[in-house]
Amino acid sequence: MSEALELGINALRGQMDTRAMSYFSSCVRCGICAEACLFYTETGDARYTPIYKTEPLRKLWKREYTFWGKLASKMGLLKPMTESDLSDWEELVYDGCSMCSRCSMVCPVGVDIAYLIRKAKEGLSAAGFSPADLVAAGERADRIGSPMGVTSHTLNATIRVQEKETGLPVPLDVQGAEYLVLLSSGEIAGFPEFIGSLAKIFKATGISWTLSSEYFEATNTGVQLGNSKLAAKLVERIVTVAEKLDIKTVVSPECGHAYTTIRWDAPNFIGRPLPFNVVHVMELLDQLRQQGRLKTKGYTEERLSYHDPCNAGRRGGVLDQPRNLLKMVAPNFVELPESGDMNWCCGGGGGVSSNERANPLRLKVFDAKKRQLDAAKPEGLVTACSNCRHMLEDGLEHNHMYDVELLGVTELIAEHLVDGDEA
Amino acid sequence: MSDKKQSRIRRHRKVAYSLLSLLVLTLVLPLIPYAVAEKDETAGKVFNPGTELWRDVRQRDRDVIGTTQMKSVDAGVLINEYGETWRHFRMQQLVPYGAALMGIVLSIILLFYLLRGPLRLQEEPSGKKIERFTVFERTVHWFTVAIFWLLALTGLILLYGRFVLIPILGADGFGITASACKEAHNLFGPTFLVALVLLFLTFVKDNIYARGDMLWLLKGGGMLGGGHVSAGRFNAGEKIWFWIAIIGGLVLSVTGLILVFSILGQSREIMGLSHVLHGIVALVVISVSFGHIYLGTAGVEGTLGSMTTGYVDEAWAKSHHDRWYAEVKAAEDGSDKIVDEPGLATEGKS
Amino acid sequence: MFKHLVDGIFWDIALWVFTIGVLWRILSIFLVGNKKDLSVARTTGMTGAIAANISRFFPRSEMQSRTRLHVIAGYMFHLGLFALLFFAAPHILFVESQTGLSWPAMPYWAFIVTAQLAFVGLLLLWIHRVMDPVTRLISSADDHVGSILTFIVMLTGCMALLEGFEGLRVLHRFTVELLMVYFPFSRLMHAFMFIPSRAFTGAWFGRRGVKA
């Protein structure tokens, strides 16, 4: 057995739990999951069937955790797992799955297929069968603190520009602030207005907040790779910074997997409860709205729709909040068909967006999104995830859909904000 | 050149002789029961007082209905004379003629295979595959196949079992088999109607008569003379089979239901007639299905794939269903339907 | 001879293999254990677990057009099979003879209708399994053996419907015994395991405030 294979199999063994075994014992191979998966519906390629992507883990389960499997492998009737049982799945798991969990919502026996794919990723990444781009992003995240190589210098420069534009200070490393706001590298590089918008909103609502220059990254490449060790290391950095600054609540920015990671997975990665609360920026803004602290003026006449980021919505439970906020300023809001917890993914989740090799496939499966947009015909598409926004931009461009404008919820609210002084 | 011509003449001669001999067989076979049947020369010549009584009991001459306290259809009939006619038909006609029909069809197919051989493609397979039947269409087809053959086999055992199976299983063994087959046949019967409806709805739109079908028939579908005959998605032969299956299936279903649900007040004569129709139509449909099976498998190169994977080679489409091929190519999503790897390509969902 | 085996020792073996096998299989799954979820839940997982066990009986509206065959045939088969298993008169008589328990049977016509529903459903599901590239890819021998064995059990059951021949009853019982022995080692276990699976998924999503 090669070293890579052994590492992979050991990692898979470490993933086996009652939940996974229960899932494998329930699956009746009905194929309904395929009908929910954009990688299957848009390509027609049966190999993209969600449950098929879990084969590496299922093969191990069969060999080592079932009666016939154990018997047959002892008698030498069952072929031992080979390296290709892992390597052949790299493309399916990393390029052909965005971890959107739409399949998990429709399985009649209740298998959370995304949960199993996430576990299979642990085996593949331990064996070294992960896309080079994603591995490199992971290395950068580990070394620099950002998968895109955004340094604290870049952050400082961005902050200065935003301070100049808004005329408001952006607090940095403030000891004892109520909220610590995390950012994604994609936001800093692509949508820096998010920072200025927050400064405006927090000023108007009287919130004490801060950014951290020591560690600001909300995304977690360890999760996308399926490398829990790296994931835990990156989470620990957030915990250290938050503890140092004595933070009560950590705010996840407009990013899907960043939110599920820090809100739901982080304590399990580090093996202890978090010493602070976590909210998605949508949750925070909606709380402020409910408390009557967040007030808006004027409306946009545009026909807006909301694209649910899979991780924030389906896997994170942030579904109503952005809609409540949008309805404050967009009376012509219209739902996409199959939105909410059954929304179609932008195609770039789960690390697909960082994996250049997967671009043609990602743009092909964007057809699912295109169908939704063609049906609802919105003039503007709002989302609460900078990665989704990048992917939507790319997909719209690819399909020459130039008349759909892309927006972030936070900026939209900031544009219509009633200033603290005005009120 | 002349070699080729001579061999063609020889082949034509062989075909002609075979057809002729088949014709003779068809005419002669039904006569066998008459030849074998014993003739009772003395019947009707000697007066027998018992006969008169017997004639009354059977209510042969007069339309006398007896009276009884029992209230059910035909309760006033002491002995159902019609039943004897029915029994006679079943044993003397349905059984031998049915066997002959199936035997003749099988022989024709065998002869055709030996003389003409499988129909080959006119050009080399291109490797490009084109979707002929969707998952749903194939599911409906095989669903019908499964139920049809369950019914056909159990039905044939009920009809021919006493000749074929009693020598093998013995009377007791056949008794069990026949009972099992009867229960299964009756139980599966109504489900055939479900299959029939699905089959009809799925395939009817491409089985309507279209221009060119008559020409196809006149040219014998290109099966005898060779040469290319133009056709749409389904050719005239396939369309005829479709309507035989649908109409035959409908007759089978209706007569079958009359026979299974004997509580609906139908008389014995209706039941007897239903059985007669049921038997004849079943044997005809089974016989024609042999031809369908032959043409779908060994008879025409490259056809089977259309009902297994759903895909056929481009060359197959061009040579057998050229107009359909042109339609697919011209369609907006035509390029999606012609692919390299069939198992992994887009399949239409219903 | 065969009849005595089927009604005697074979039945005992089948019953023991089925019972011990199923219990052992479930136990072996639950002994492995899950890691405790340390995150702060929005709502308790229990609510989600129960809700998912109910909601997953109903397909999502978004999936209707793409999974019509799965759902219709699936329900025809499962409901038909359940009705046959628990409410066919001979089955109730059999249970009564073994345990003394009895309950009302469904009328003969209902038996016929449910048997037909079950047959149509099972045949459609199995043929679709073979025809659809997705299910063909993910199905293994286990799936086909399970389907065919179930079909044979149902078929022999119907063949014995007349209850006139002892041999047919024995044949039916024998195929049932085969199915019972096969059950704990196969995907037929989904008949039990779908409940914890739905519960785990429902709880996981429920904690996050999502109705799964």
Among A85, A33, A40, A91, which residue's Cα sits nearest to residue A59?
A: A85
Residues A165, A35 share a domain? no
Q: Coil, strand or helix: which one is C161?
A: coil
CA-based radius of gyration for chain C: 20
Least confident of A333-337, B161-165, B219-223, C24-28: B219-223
pLDDT tens sequence across A132-149: 999 999 999 999 999 999
User: Chain B neighbours among A 9-68 (CB < 8 Å)?
Assistant: 35, 43-47
What is the C-alpha separation between A411 and A197, in angstroms, rounded?
A: 5
Residues A99, A62 share a domain? yes
Residues A311, A229 share a domain? no
pLDDT tens sequence across C114-165: 999 999 999 999 999 999 999 999 999 999 999 999 999 999 999 888 888 8
**With contact defined as beta carbons under 8 Å apart, do A224 and A354 qualify?**
yes
Residues A117, A147 share a domain? no
Q: Which of A107, A130, A153 finishes a domain?
A: A130
pLDDT tens sequence across A252-270: 999 999 999 999 999 999 9
What is the C-alpha separation between B181 and B308, in angstroms, rounded?
A: 29
**Average pLDDT for residues C51-80, to the nearest whole number?**
96
Confidence of residue B22 (pLDDT cuts 50, 70, 90): confident
What is the C-alpha separation between A10 and B18, in angstroms, rounded?
A: 71
Write the single-letter amino acid at A227: N
Q: Where are the beta strands (DSSP E) in chain B?
A: 129-131, 311-313, 338-339
Confidence of residue C73 (pLDDT cuts 50, 70, 90): very high
pLDDT tens sequence across A359-411: 999 999 999 999 999 999 999 999 999 999 999 999 999 999 999 999 999 99
Structure-token pair, residue B266? 């139908």
ipTM value for the complex: 0.96
- Please report whether residue A423 resides in a domain: no
- Check CB contact under 8 Å for A25 and C29: yes
**How far is the alpha carbon of A134 from chain C, nearest alpha carbon, in Å?**
27
CATH of the domain at A73: 1.10.1060
**With contact defined as beta carbons under 8 Å apart, do A97 and A54 qualify?**
no
Residues A98, A18 share a domain? yes
Q: Give residue for tokens 């998952």.
A: B135
**With contact defined as beta carbons under 8 Å apart, do A141 and A134 qualify?**
no
How does the average pLDDT of chain A come out, rounded?
A: 95
- Check CB contact under 8 Å for A45 and B345: yes
Q: Would you call C29 an interface residue with chain A, using a CB distance cutoff of 8 Å?
A: yes
**With contact defined as beta carbons under 8 Å apart, do B316 and B302 qualify?**
yes
Among A258, A257, A374, A353, which residue's Cα sits nearest to residue A310?
A: A257
- Please, what's the largest Cα pairwise distance for chain C? 64
Q: Is the pLDDT assigned to residue A97 strictly greater than 50?
A: yes
Residues A100, A25 share a domain? yes
- Check CB contact under 8 Å for A108 and C56: yes
- Check CB contact under 8 Å for A342 and C70: no
**With contact defined as beta carbons under 8 Å apart, do C203 and C45 qualify?**
yes
C44, C50, C62, best to mutate vs chain A, most A CBs in 10 Å: C62
**Average pLDDT for residues A94-119, to the nearest whole number?**
97
What is the C-alpha separation between C12 and C19, in angstroms, rounded?
A: 11
- Check CB contact under 8 Å for A110 and C33: no
- What's B78's DSSP letter? S
pLDDT tens sequence across B227-236: 678 888 999 9
Q: Which of A290, A318, A353 finishes a domain?
A: A290
Q: Would you call C107 an interface residue with chain B, using a CB distance cutoff of 8 Å?
A: no
Q: Coil, strand or helix: which one is A279?
A: strand
Q: Is the pLDDT assigned to residue A159 strictly greater than 80?
A: yes
For the domain covering B82-344, report its CATH number: 1.20.950.20
- Check CB contact under 8 Å for C164 and B179: yes
**Which of C128, C131, C168 is nearest residue B179 as measured by Cβ atoms?**
C168
CA C209 to centroid of chain Cα atoms? 31
Q: Is the pLDDT assigned to residue A35 strictly greater than 90?
A: yes
Confidence of residue B265 (pLDDT cuts 50, 70, 90): confident
- Please report whether residue A252 resides in a domain: yes
Among A174, A241, A163, which residue's Cα sits nearest to residue A198?
A: A163
- Check CB contact under 8 Å for B187 and C116: yes
Q: Is the pLDDT assigned to residue B349 strictly greater than 50?
A: no
At CA B92, angle to CA B88 and CA B95, rounded to 5? Answer: 115
- Please report whether residue A299 resides in a domain: no
**Average pLDDT for residues A240-251, to the nearest whole number?**
96
Query: Of residues B168 and B287, which shows the higher confidence score?
Result: B287
- pLDDT, residue B345, reads 43
Q: Is the pLDDT assigned to residue B346 strictly greater than 50?
A: no
What is the C-alpha separation between A282 and A279, in angstroms, rounded?
A: 8
**With contact defined as beta carbons under 8 Å apart, do A141 and A186 qualify?**
no
- Give me the domains of chain C, ranges plus CATH numbers: 2-15+66-207 (1.20.950.20)
Which residues does chain C have within 8 Å of residue A36's beta carbon, measured at their own beta carbons?
A: 63
Q: Coil, strand or helix: which one is B65?
A: coil
Q: Is the pLDDT assigned to residue B26 strictly greater than 70?
A: no
Structural domains of chain A, count: 3
Q: What are phi and psi of B15, to 5 degrees?
A: -60, -45
Q: How many CB atoms lie within 10 A of CB A59?
A: 22
- Check CB contact under 8 Å for B139 and C124: yes
- Check CB contact under 8 Å for A44 and B344: yes
Q: Is the pLDDT assigned to residue A13 strictly greater than 60?
A: yes
What is the C-alpha separation between B134 and B348, in angstroms, rounded?
A: 6
- Check CB contact under 8 Å for B345 and A35: no
**How far is the alpha carbon of A257 from chain C, nearest alpha carbon, in Å?**
14
At CA B218, angle to CA B216 and CA B222, rounded to 5? Answer: 55
**How far is the alpha carbon of A258 from chain C, nearest alpha carbon, in Å?**
15
Which residues does chain C have within 8 Å of residue B310's beta carbon, measured at their own beta carbons?
A: 131
- Please report whether residue A406 resides in a domain: yes
Q: Is the pLDDT assigned to residue B50 strictly greater than 80?
A: no
What is the C-alpha separation between C209 and C212, in angstroms, rounded?
A: 9
Residues A93, A17 share a domain? yes
Q: Is the pLDDT assigned to residue B223 strictly greater than 80?
A: no
Which residues does chain A have within 8 Å of residue B349's beta carbon, measured at their own beta carbons?
A: 35
Which residues does chain A have within 8 Å of residue C202's beta carbon, measured at their own beta carbons?
A: 110
- Check CB contact under 8 Å for A43 and B343: no
- Check CB contact under 8 Å for A47 and C137: yes
**Average pLDDT for residues C17-33, to the nearest whole number?**
96
CA-based radius of gyration for chain B: 26
Q: Is the pLDDT assigned to residue A204 strictly greater than 90?
A: yes
What is the C-alpha separation between A406 and C205, in angstroms, rounded?
A: 29
- pLDDT, residue B29, reads 64
Q: Is the pLDDT assigned to residue A247 strictly greater than 90?
A: yes
Helix H or strand E segment including A15? helix A3-15
- Which chains does chain C touch, 3 or more C-beta pairs < 8 A? A, B
**Which of B136, B180, B194 is nearest residue C159 as measured by Cβ atoms?**
B180
Percent of chain B whose pLDDT exceeds 70: 81
Q: Would you call C120 an interface residue with chain B, using a CB distance cutoff of 8 Å?
A: yes
CA-based radius of gyration for chain A: 22
- pLDDT, residue C174, reads 96
- What is the domain partition of chain B in residue ranges? 82-344
| Residue A10: domain span | 3-130
Q: Is the pLDDT assigned to residue A84 strictly greater than 50?
A: yes
Q: Would you call C72 an interface residue with chain B, using a CB distance cutoff of 8 Å?
A: no
CB pairs B-C closer than 8 Å? 70
How does the average pLDDT of chain B come out, rounded?
A: 83
Residues 6 or more apart whose Cβ sits within 8 Å of residue A283? A318, A321
Confidence of residue B118 (pLDDT cuts 50, 70, 90): confident
Residues A394, A322 share a domain? yes
Residue of C nearest to B190 (CA): C116
- Which chains does chain B touch, 3 or more C-beta pairs < 8 A? A, C
**Average pLDDT for residues B53-66, to the nearest whole number?**
64
What is the C-alpha separation between C55 and C48, in angstroms, rounded?
A: 10
**Which of B143, B176, B187 is nearest residue C167 as measured by Cβ atoms?**
B176
CB pairs A-C closer than 8 Å? 161
**Which of A25, A317, A342 is nearest residue C189 as measured by Cβ atoms?**
A25
Which residues does chain A have within 8 Å of residue B347's beta carbon, measured at their own beta carbons?
A: 44
- Check CB contact under 8 Å for A32 and C67: yes
- Please report whether residue A421 resides in a domain: no
- Please report whether residue A422 resides in a domain: no
Percent of chain B whose pLDDT exceeds 90: 42
- Check CB contact under 8 Å for B139 and C155: no
* Cα–Cα separations (whole angstroms), residue C150 to C18, C92, C176, C179: 15, 19, 8, 7
CA A1 to centroid of chain Cα atoms? 35
Q: Which of A130, A155, A188 finishes a domain?
A: A130
- Please report whether residue A295 resides in a domain: no
Burial C181-198 (b: 16+ CB within 10 A, else e): bbbbbbbbbbebbbbbbb
What is the C-alpha separation between A189 and A383, in angstroms, rounded?
A: 17
Q: Is the pLDDT assigned to residue B104 strictly greater than 90?
A: yes
CATH of the domain at A203: 3.40.50
**With contact defined as beta carbons under 8 Å apart, do B108 and B223 qualify?**
no
- Please report whether residue A374 resides in a domain: yes
Q: Is the pLDDT assigned to residue A59 strictly greater than 60?
A: yes
